[in-house]
Structure 1
């Protein structure tokens, strides 16, 4: 019976990791899409991918450095490192590839990515606390 519980916990954990990683990808793509739409940029799909890839790469680095898969819904252990990875890595990669990096964009990206990547984890933690009560 205990091995069934262990397998169930591992399956749930794997699903949680995949869900958190997918949420990060979707939220970063949404950030890129909203930004491109606000500036009326052409090439909606390719353009969004061009805008998003540095932030996605940075988020992936944040996942690896923090080992976010260990606690993927933790705002502190996963959310903050993934956010900082996406922001810092994204801005560095944008600069290295001659994409725009200006202060207003850095400020907007800082706030938007923090709200998205840390925010849903805080909401998940709040929902978990409510379920325990």
Structure 2
């Protein structure tokens, strides 16, 4: 094999490697987006469970008023996690809407009023829809 053939083979190998790397970047970026969507969906599912807990806690407020605060705290924690994991505008809007509903329930609980959990449930449903991939 001549020197020019070796040189061409190395150049071809380098070009193939560069092409493979260029193709891998979008694939990896796509996986990252899917991973973020799945993380969002998983966290939205945790939010939904916390909303269920909140509804039960509001129903049982006479027995244990601290349960509502604990459920609200779990929702806040999960919303913060979603905020950190995604930069999607629709997710951000849903998180903000749910956070406002949670704050309203917290205000009612702290004032000794029976809160309506309907806005929380609706906002959590919206967040779940926005976070669901596909």
Normalised to the residue count of structure 2, the TM-score between the two structures is 0.36
Highest RCO, 1 vs 2 (Cα 8 Å, sep ≥ 6) = 2
> Which of structures 1 and 2 has the bigger CA Rg?
2
